[in-house]
Amino acid sequence: MPTRVLIIGAGAIGAFYGSRLATAPHTLVSALCRSNYTAVKTHGFQVTSPIYGSTTFRPERVFENVLEAQRSGLRFDFLLVATKALPDVDDDSRLLEGLVGSQTSIVLVQNGVGIEESYQKRSPRTSIITAVAYANAAQPQPGVINHHAWTRMAVGPYRGAKDVDVEGNDESLSMQSCSRFFELLKAGGVKDAELHDAASIQHVRWSKLAINASMNCSAVLSGSSDNYTMTHDPDLVGHLLAVMHEVLDAAPIILGSLPPKSLPTPAQIMKASQRSVSGSKPSMLVDWESGRAMELEVILGNPLRIAREKGVVMPRVESMYALLKLMQRNRDRASGNFSKL
């Protein structure tokens, strides 16, 4: 039996990793599409990458909506969710209804923290793999995926929120499905995939949050600056480092343990970011420039609320949250688009 994967949210990141998984032996990858449905159904995804070259990724099946996927009769081993995490706009965990079987694991490939709870509440007995992606990719037109840099994905099992009854959800089974997914990534050429346990993957999430809270939000607040510009401006570098320190200082208090030694310091993150190719932009800036909702809640709002519960204050994160929320609201009011408020 082949391993079957369904990408839910086949945009930049979903299609990029989907195209990699599709090259793993005995692996069939399908895609649930929305605005790119016609392009992908007709031509597949055209993926360009400095690492893997130019390829066409033709999913086994392309679905226009969840009902079609449910009616296909296919049983998926992995549902890979790579929609934008926008709990203030929609609860995407509802997209998985009717698709989760006894053999299915859910893989959440989204930035931010506190993204897992709604999935676990809806499917309390299902293994949830929480994944942190470091690749930088964009979809400039429907079905065209430009991978700019990096490939790394860290995966680990989600242990669960305290208020959810997870009786029958065996943690060792979650680890097994996580290892299986990790092997698939490796077989698909993601050589720097990483496997973590439930505690350390949350530290990885907070470490990635330090990048997104600083870089993504500042790219928008500084009036559309790309990664190269931000990391070569001395004043902005000072601000980015201070935000990263704020988040990374809070993480051990919030998670109740020390981070793995392998995680980078703010200075190391900055050095790596300074090597970004000119023109590569954080995903939040891409959303801002296209008039779409930004992932403000999972990147700023959730961390602030979680930190407050532990008595930790993050003043820079607080200021950016307040400013960006109003920027988004003002933009949407001006364009008459109230659906995103």
Ligand X SMILES: CC(C)(CO)C(=O)C(=O)O
For residues 128 and 211, which CB has a smaller minimum distance to ligand X in the complex? Answer: 211
**Residues 113-172 within binding reach of ligand X (CB under 6 A):** 136
Asked whether position 221 contacts ligand X by CB under 6 A, the answer is no
> Measured between alpha carbons, how far is 291 from 340 in angstroms, rounded to an integer?
10
Asked whether position 49 contacts ligand X by CB under 6 A, the answer is no
For residues 104 and 283, which CB has a smaller minimum distance to ligand X in the complex? Answer: 283
204: tokens are 């990885």
Q: What is the number of other CB atoms lying within 10 angstroms of the CB of residue 43?
A: 13
Q: Which residue among 283, 294, 304, 328 contacts ligand X (CB under 6 A)? A: 283
Pairing relationship of beta strands 45-49 and 53-57 according to DSSP bridges: antiparallel
Q: Which residue among 157, 282, 301, 303 contacts ligand X (CB under 6 A)? A: 282
For residues 145 and 166, which CB has a smaller minimum distance to ligand NDP in the complex? Answer: 145
- The answer to whether residues 289 and 331 touch, using CB atoms and an 8 Å cutoff, is no
Q: From ligand NDP, ligand X, none, which one binds at residue 95 (CB under 5 to 8 Å depending on kind)?
A: ligand NDP
Asked whether position 207 contacts ligand X by CB under 6 A, the answer is no
List Cβ<8 Å contacts ≥24 apart for 170-179. Answer: 171/198, 173/127, 174/105, 174/127, 174/128, 174/129, 174/198, 177/78, 177/105, 177/127, 177/129, 178/105, 178/127, 178/129
For residues 12 and 96, which CB has a smaller minimum distance to ligand X in the complex? Answer: 12
- The answer to whether residues 81 and 9 touch, using CB atoms and an 8 Å cutoff, is yes
> Measured between alpha carbons, how far is 159 from 178 in angstroms, rounded to an integer?
12
Asked whether position 211 contacts ligand X by CB under 6 A, the answer is yes
Q: From ligand X, ligand NDP, none, which one binds at residue 85 (CB under 5 to 8 Å depending on kind)?
A: ligand NDP
> Pattern 234-263, binding to ligand X, x per CB under 6 A?
------------------------------
Contacting positions for ligand NDP (CB under 6 A): 9-14, 32, 34-36, 82-85, 95, 109-111, 133, 135-139, 283, 295
For residues 33 and 85, which CB has a smaller minimum distance to ligand X in the complex? Answer: 85
> Measured between alpha carbons, how far is 278 from 220 in angstroms, rounded to an integer?
16
> Measured between alpha carbons, how far is 86 from 16 in angstroms, rounded to an integer?
21
Give the footprint of ligand X on this chain (CB under 6 A).
Answer: 111, 136, 211-212, 215-216, 282-283
